[in-house]
Amino acid sequence: MKSNSHIPFFKKGDIGGLTYIVTNNVINYLIVIATLSGVLEWPDEIVYGKVIPGMSIGLGLSCLYYVYMAMKLAKKEGRNDITALPSGVSTPAMFVILYGVIMPLNYSLNDPQLTWSAAVAACFIGGMVEFCGGFIGPWMKKNIPRAALLGTVAGIGFIWMATQGLFDIFSDPIIGLPIFIIAMIGLFGGYLFPKRIPPLVVAVLGGVVYAYCLGRTEIDFTGIGFYFPNPINTIQNLINGFAVVAPYLTIIIPIEIYNFVETMDNVEAANAAGDNYSVREAQFADGVCTMISAIFGGVVPNTVWLGHAGLKKADAGIGYSVVSGIILASSGIFGLFTFLSKMVPPAICGITYLWCAVIMVAQAFRVCKRKQFAAVVVSMIPPVADFLFTQVSGAMGVSNIWTEVTASGVNGYTPEVSKMLIDSGVMWHGIPEVKAGAIIIGIIVGTLTSCIIDRNLNKASITMFFAAGLSIFGFIHSSALGFYPNSQFFKAYVISAVLLYVLHLGSKTSWLQEQEDFDYV
């Protein structure tokens, strides 16, 4: 008897998947537009003519490729109940690229075109890292403690996303609070409206209508048109951007490592739900689609999203992914986001900021063992330095006081200015030092803490030697890549590595004893 491997094109369960993918991706698009157009004041020619179409092309291709993977799996296993992997813009990577790469570059270069070139190069490099994750991902997942990796990303989510989200809501409370409450009862309360309509959908659609009725937004179709970037021109800009973005590799590479580990986790979760997808193929697809997105002008990477198990439980198939890909690709190419960006109030984006941040922080604690909570918390701290540095340097720039390379080799202020800040109660001591390579530093201190908790002092020593290698070449604690054998950080890490190894030897003898049943919590 021949098995039935034909997946219905569209099922009732695909409606929920379609809502999930389109709604959340559209909000991510609006965040990108609000940052590039609203905050950085990039011209529409770049935002709507290059960035948004490039993102849409890459995302559309990834949605369609995951449909191909589902059909291939259905044929292989003789089943017709396969659910396609959900695909979307990587929200954590999006925030890190926007705030950690594009924003500081924009302020230093004061040239949107050149900044966009560097952002495209960063996106392309990110795609390469994602692609390589198909080869090195399992090793990195085995050797980097989850607490260090997830804690660092949780720190980014909390300090950048959660704060901005809640502040956006309260910046216009008449609009923000009602939308916030409707969204919250669904996202965190688990309520549903009749016909199982998610409150988030009601908050988004109702919020748009509500804001328009109060005159906060407007309907404007003038930007709708045909925006299909010329990849030849983009490739030239991409090449020019490589040199500009090189100092930001210490930000790009760690967040993309997180990105491909996230893809690994989410595909493994799909396997656990009964759909045995190839983790490596999904990582290759993410990387290739991200690089294609960059070639057409996109600046943020794609990833496999959470939620496959829920979609499978709802009996979603492949239709939601096909339709989502077509909607998102066509919306970017035909300029529909020019219309949406003027219709959606900031509070709706703020809710997504807050929701994603809460999920990121909660996930870090949920998937890690209780004893590793200290490692999660410690690794969350370095991204705060990046946030504080941006806030302080932005405020000082209003007074025409700018950062410079200090004697310690990092971007900061003169001793006089630094003393003035500290004496005024500004948290500045050590901020420039930790800001330089904050994501990597978060992973390092988180790994160190995790190893100590597990009483692997020898691995903690190796971690410090690895940190010494990164610091001597300027990947951390430095304003630029180079060779810095006289760096105080290099020396400190070497001393720490030797100390930890001595302590490791002591733990094997009698002068350093392990307490039984020890619990620091």
pLDDT (tens digit, 9 = 90+) per residue, 412-438? 899 999 999 999 999 999 999 998 888
Token output for 468? 């010494």
Task: Check whether 182 has a pLDDT greater than 80.
Answer: yes
Task: Check whether 261 has a pLDDT greater than 80.
Answer: no
Smallest Cα–Cα separation from 160: which of 420, 350, 411? Answer: 350
Task: Check whether 510 has a pLDDT greater than 50.
Answer: yes
Task: Check whether 274 has a pLDDT greater than 60.
Answer: yes
pLDDT confidence tier of residue 342, bands split at 50, 70 and 90: confident
> Which of 248-252, 289-293, 372-376, 450-454 is predicted least confidently?
248-252
Smallest Cα–Cα separation from 273: which of 316, 318, 309, 310? Answer: 309
* Three-state SS sequence of 159-178: HHHHHHHHHHHHHCHHHHHH
pTM above 0.85, yes or no: no
What single DSSP character describes residue 372? G
pLDDT recorded at residue 4: 65
Average pLDDT score over residue span 264-293: 89
Task: Check whether 1 has a pLDDT greater than 50.
Answer: no
Contact 506, 512 (CB under 8 A): yes
Q: Give the number of C-alpha atoms closer than 13 A to the C-alpha of residue 503, restricted to the C-beta side.
A: 17
Q: Please tell me whether residue 328 adopts helix, strand or coil conformation.
A: helix
pLDDT recorded at residue 3: 53
Question: 65-79, 97-111, 392-406, 488-502 — which one is most confidently predicted on average?
Answer: 488-502
Share of the chain above pLDDT 70, in %: 99
pLDDT per residue as tens digits for the range 275-287: 889 888 999 999 9
Q: Please tell me whether residue 35 adopts helix, strand or coil conformation.
A: helix
Token output for 51? 């960035």
pLDDT confidence tier of residue 2, bands split at 50, 70 and 90: very low
Question: Residue 510 — left, alpha, or beta (φ > 0 → left; ψ -120 to 50 → alpha)?
Answer: alpha
pLDDT recorded at residue 5: 67
pLDDT per residue as tens digits for the range 16-75: 788 788 877 888 898 899 889 888 899 999 999 999 999 999 999 999 999 999 999 999
Better-predicted residue by pLDDT, 487 or 137: 487
Query: How many Cβ atoms from other residues are within 10 Å of residue 336's Cβ?
Result: 21
Task: Check whether 240 has a pLDDT greater than 60.
Answer: yes
Share of the chain above pLDDT 90, in %: 42
Average pLDDT, the chain: 88
DSSP H helical ranges for 296-405: 308-313, 319-333, 336-343, 346-366, 373-380, 382-398
Query: How many Cβ atoms from other residues are within 10 Å of residue 98's Cβ?
Result: 21
Contact 345, 77 (CB under 8 A): no
